[in-house]
Amino acid sequence: MKEPYELEWVDVAALIEAVKLAESIKPSQQAKRDSFRKFGVLGTRRDPPLTSIFYNIMLRLGLIDNLVREFSGVSNPLLLDANLRAALRVFIGLMVFNKERVRFRELEKIKNKVSKYLSEVSHPFVGMWFWDLVDELVGYEYRPRTIEEELTLKYLLPAWYVKKMRELIGEEEADALFKSFLKTPKISVRVNTLKASVEEVLRELTESGARDLEVSQIVPTVIKFKGPFNFDKSRLLREGKVVIQEEPAALAAILLDPKPGQVVVDLAAAPGGKTELIGELMKNEGVIYAFDVDSRRIDRMRKLLSRAGVTIVKIHEKDGREAPKIVGEEIADRVLVDPPCSSDGTLMKNHDLRWRLMENDVSKLAQLQYELLLAGLKILKPGGYLLYSTCSLLKEQNEDVIQRVLKKKKAEIVPIKGPYAEGFLPGTMRAWPHKHNTIGFFYALLTKR
């Protein structure tokens, strides 16, 4: 058994800051990098073990928040001061769910510093209460008290999601799916063919210390390798020779099959990975209208497109549902509708996301997806192609949305035959984490009557 990692004050401070930032900065990997950079941890020997501890905390955030409620007496941890909330999450995560993996070098000193800080930024009583709570956590043993808590502890997923996926694919296969969510996936990058070749990128990644490199059999420009990898120092990323993107996401743009000179509309484009690939496939000839409402993600898209050298994108900071009024109807040869979704197909990469999955959000997202799809069909020329894709595994956001559109008799399915598995609606396709060793994804290709 490995020796427990010895935590110093700076380690705990970096973890608290990372957990706090992860509430507002997505993905949580970026929040972790920002915090670790601030506290001088990034790129040091302390980075890998602390990264592992951070993800372990985020993976158990739902269980941790149950204990936050229990100890604090609040109905919702979000009612607490953000600094206190982050400190509670870290200390419960460390002292209850990581007690075999870590030990504190000077617990009294660390407890004193955190308590003093919380008193300064919040209220003196808060620091005193936190001090007493840390003493209470010493020796605390967590045991689930309900069936829901048992399911949550077993799968590290919300109980409603466990039940829903069991209904969809059966208990045995759902069990395999949930286990795949706990595996550490390889890092995936896609080669920007406007600037580099696969061979060139493979060579440079090898020289940079990337391990176990593998070229995708599905998308030959996607390279997978084992982490960790410091993208902050990567010349390949800085010069736009690679884009961080998963194989199924890249395949979406390829299935759309955009051609040079065409008019393409992307109705939920930011942060721009698929938009950029569409521009590559069009060889920078034609025009892409990219819509999104998230200004931060749009900023990331602008930087990505600039690095990658894709120059044919016209960005509209507007809701994609307004696109027919802005660019006109029946003007597009190709339309991509990759709408906001619950993103549960990416849980192995985004550990904290599982605790943001809310059952009552599913129907709201499905309605937004349906409305974006109808807007996309208005923009599409007769005979043109529209690809609908999500990184959700929930049928309500995939096949059910497509069936609603098909009932309006304004479009028909163009069958997709592989490389992944057929969906629950003939002609559609699904990538499954436990079957295809990748993130979960859904695809439906439509043409306008």
What amino acid is encoded at 399 in this protein? E
Model pLDDT, residue 276: 98
**For 398, which DSSP code?**
T
Q: Is 432 exposed, middle or buried (0-12, 13-18, 19+ CB in 10 A)?
A: buried
CATH superfamily of domain region 5-137: NusB-like (1.10.940.10)
What amino acid is encoded at 265 in this protein? V
The answer to whether 393 and 362 are in contact (CB under 8 A) is no
Is position 341 annotated as part of the catalytic site? no
| CA-based torsion, 326, 329, 331, 337: positive or negative | positive
Q: Can you read off the two tokens belonging to residue 98?
A: 């990581």
359-394 pLDDT, tens digit each: 999 999 999 999 999 999 999 999 999 999 999 999
Long-range contacts of 291-300 (CB under 8 A, 24+ apart): 291/265, 291/266, 291/267, 291/316, 291/318, 291/319, 291/320, 291/322, 291/323, 292/268, 292/316, 292/317, 292/320, 293/317, 293/318, 293/319, 294/270, 297/270, 297/271, 297/272, 298/270, 300/270, 300/271, 300/272
Which H or E run includes 263?
Answer: strand 263-266
Low-confidence ranges of the chain (pLDDT < 50): none
Alpha carbon distance 20, 379 (integer Å): 41
Q: Are strands 263-266 and 5-7 parallel, antiparallel or unpaired?
A: unpaired
Nearest to 338 by CA among 441, 235, 414, 194: 441
Q: Which residues pair with 336 in a beta bridge?
A: 266, 387
φ/ψ region of 363 (left if φ > 0, alpha if ψ in -120 to 50, else beta) reads alpha
pLDDT above 70: percentage of residues in the chain: 100
CATH of 187-244, picked from 3.30.460.80, 3.20.20.70, 1.10.10.10, 3.30.70.1170, is 3.30.70.1170
48-82 pLDDT, tens digit each: 999 999 999 999 999 999 999 999 999 999 999 99
Q: Which residue is catalytic, options 156, 187, 391, 402?
A: 391
**For 66, which DSSP code?**
H
- Tell me which CATH code domain 247-448 carries: 3.40.50.150
Which H or E run includes 107?
Answer: helix 107-121
Model pLDDT, residue 95: 96
Alpha carbon distance 339, 370 (integer Å): 9
Model pLDDT, residue 149: 86
What are the residue ranges spanned by the domains of the chain? 5-137, 147-180, 187-244, 247-448
Taking CA atoms, 320 is separated from 270, 337, 440, in Å, by 11, 9, 24
Nearest to 399 by CA among 375, 416, 377, 380: 416
Half-sphere exposure of 196 (CA within 13 A, CB side): 25
Model pLDDT, residue 1: 52
Which residue in the block uniquely carries the two structure tokens 């998308």? 219
